[in-house]
Structure 1
Amino acid sequence: MRFYVNKYAQPTGEHEVHRSNCAWLPDAENRIYLGDFATSQAAVKEARKYYSCVDGCKHCCPESHTR
């Protein structure tokens, strides 16, 4: 599955990781492609190379959503 991270932080400070099929996936100009991963946890780890505060989307990556 392909994963992306939102370039813009949520009001609470975290940048959300989304699966490519998420209804809340940011527009192309507002996201960074992270790669293909078997789990959202692996995608969150990759997103931490870009941002220190990262969380999984509660809708498409609930297993990585912590905030």
Structure 2
Amino acid sequence: MALTVRVDPAEATEVDLFQVMLREETGQRVDKAELIRELLLLAREHGPTRRALVQRLKRGPG
């Protein structure tokens, strides 16, 4: 399955900075596809993360 995530320019910068931070903390390259896959897996497997996601989705965009 292909997945496209569109973000505005400010969000794109934040995503890039987050990706760099993860690279520094893990000591390895983390590509965006891997980052999204791991976040989705975390949300499915980790109850507190899933509940936090549900609450954010209920509030709506932004």
Same fold, judged at TM 0.5 (above): no
Taking structure 1 as the reference length, the TM-score comes to 0.24
Which structure's CA Rg is the greater one? 2
Judging by fraction of residues, say which structure has more strand.
Answer: 1
Judging by fraction of residues, say which structure has more helix.
Answer: 2
Structure of greater relative contact order (alpha carbons < 8 Å, 6+ residues apart): 1
Taking structure 2 as the reference length, the TM-score comes to 0.25
